């Protein structure tokens, strides 16, 4: 991180290792509950990492035994509400801005690594990330019903994006906790692995993404998210336009390289792996 942002971070930690940014929610003593300060810092971190040349993929995780225990009941709700409606609106906006608005269409690949507790509001950035991996032993829960609120902060919308109707309603209505295996079975995360293997597994996938053409990756993942809610006719037009823009703005000229290495050089098979990017 540049000096300016890095020195301002108090409850988020950022470590960059060979183009992979490990972004850690860092309030382990509060189970990484998301306070207004944490949300503000996450906004600044995403702003900065988006434009850094030395960052290609972002992994979002939590310090200690938690991913995140959701919104901070004391700082995000009780203390903010004492400051009046305008402050509530400001604090909510800073939260939802990063938790889904920024993450959903972030230009770089994002992976949530759920290492432990993951409750309520934490489902929003979890689903906001492109991919998610969990420890088998992690504990998830839509716990809002257990303390008398509905899953707002776009949690319910996030859940509806990845989980089916029956599972969504069951967990929204019961607040029953579930583990990483169940999260994977329901499609809330891509896969769960034993906790001891979680970091290595996440890093391996992140490094696979780092090997891909970043321009095409950016257009590909955002195209998926945009067209998902479109009718087929509109989607075809949008995808055609995005494909053309992706090809014309790709400094690597991946399309030409891929085609020529397959058709002319016969040096690889696109069905089985990627073209040589350094050629
Ligand atoms: N908001 C505010 N503070 C929280 C918090 C939250 N969401 N989750 C945990 N904390 C705080 C606790 O108040 C406690 O603070 P203290 O040490 O000052 O008393 C500290 O974090 C540790 O929490 P504790 O409950 O003692 O830890 P635990 O390991 O026994 O249990 C959880 C962990 C996550 C199961 C439990 O803290 C919990 O249920 N948290 C709330 C989860 C939730 O419903 N979140 C949804 C919010 S939308």
Tell me what percent of the residues of the chain surpass a pLDDT of 70.
97
Q: Which of 26, 30, 31, 32 to mutate to test the pocket of ligand 1 (most atoms within 8 A of CB)?
A: 31
What pLDDT is recorded for position 6?
A: 65
23 C-beta closer than 6 A to ligand 1? no
Tell me what percent of the residues of the chain surpass a pLDDT of 90.
97
- Looking at the chain, how many residues does it have? 279
What pLDDT is recorded for position 84?
A: 97
Homologous superfamily of domain range 12-210: 2-enoyl-CoA Hydratase; Chain A, domain 1 (3.90.226.10)
* Residue whose CA is at the smallest distance from ligand 1 atom 4: 30
CA 38/CA 97 separation, integer angstroms: 12
* Residue whose CA is at the smallest distance from ligand 1 atom 42: 69
Which stretches of the chain drop beneath a pLDDT of 50? Answer: none
Write the DSSP string, 75-99. IIIIIHHTT-HHHHHHHHHHHHIII
* Residue whose CA is at the smallest distance from ligand 1 atom 10: 30
Q: Among candidates 126, 115, 123, which has minimal Cα distance to 193?
A: 115
218 within 8 A of 226, measured Cβ to Cβ = no
Write the DSSP string, 136-155. TT-EEE-GGGGGT---TTTH
* Residue whose CA is at the smallest distance from ligand 1 atom 14: 30
27 C-beta closer than 6 A to ligand 1? no
Rounded to the nearest angstrom, the distance between the alpha carbon of 53 and the centre of ligand 1 is 37
What pLDDT is recorded for position 279?
A: 85
Output DSSP code: residue 130: S
CA 112/CA 189 separation, integer angstroms: 9
What pLDDT is recorded for position 34?
A: 98
Rounded to the nearest angstrom, the distance between the alpha carbon of 63 and the centre of ligand 1 is 14
Q: Tell me which long-range contacts 149-152 makes (C-beta under 8 A, separation of at least 24).
A: 151/120, 151/123
pLDDT, one tens digit per residue, over 26-51 is 999 999 999 999 999 999 999 999 99
Ranges of each domain in the chain: 12-210, 214-272
60 within 8 A of 23, measured Cβ to Cβ = yes
* Residue whose CA is at the smallest distance from ligand 1 atom 19: 30
């Amino acid at each position: 991180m540049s000096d300016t942002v890095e020195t301002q971070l108090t409850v988020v930690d950022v470590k960059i290792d060979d183009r992979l940014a490990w972004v850690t929610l860092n309030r382990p003593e509060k189970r990484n509950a998301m306070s207004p300060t944490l949300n503000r810092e996450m906004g600044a971190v995403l702003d900065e990492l988006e434009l850094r040349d030395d960052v290609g993929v972002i992994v979002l995780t939590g310090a200690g035994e938690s991913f995140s225990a959701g919104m901070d009941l004391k700082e995000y709700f009780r203390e903010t509400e004492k400051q009046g409606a305008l402050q509530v609106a400001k604090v909510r906006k800073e939260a939802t801005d990063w938790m889904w608005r920024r993450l959903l269409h972030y230009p770089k690949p994002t992976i949530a690594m759920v290492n432990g507790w993951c409750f309520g509001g934490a489902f929003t950035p979890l689903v906001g990330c492109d991919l998610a991996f969990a420890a088998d032993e992690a504990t998830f829960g839509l716990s809002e019903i257990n303390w008398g609120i509905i899953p707002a902060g776009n949690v319910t919308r996030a859940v509806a994006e990845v989980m089916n109707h029956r599972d969504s309603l069951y967990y929204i209505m019961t607040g029953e906790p579930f583990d990483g295996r169940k999260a994977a079975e329901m499609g809330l995360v891509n896969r769960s692995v034993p906790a001891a293997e979680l970091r290595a597994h996440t890093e391996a996938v992140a490094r696979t993404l780092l090997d891909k053409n970043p321009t095409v990756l950016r257009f590909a993942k955002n195209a998926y998210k945009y067209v998902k809610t479109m009718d087929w006719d509109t989607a075809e037009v949008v995808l055609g336009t995005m494909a053309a823009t992706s090809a014309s703005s790709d400094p690597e000229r991946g399309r030409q390289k891929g085609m020529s290495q397959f058709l002319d050089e016969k040096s690889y098979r696109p069905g089985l792996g990627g073209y040589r990017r350094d050629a």
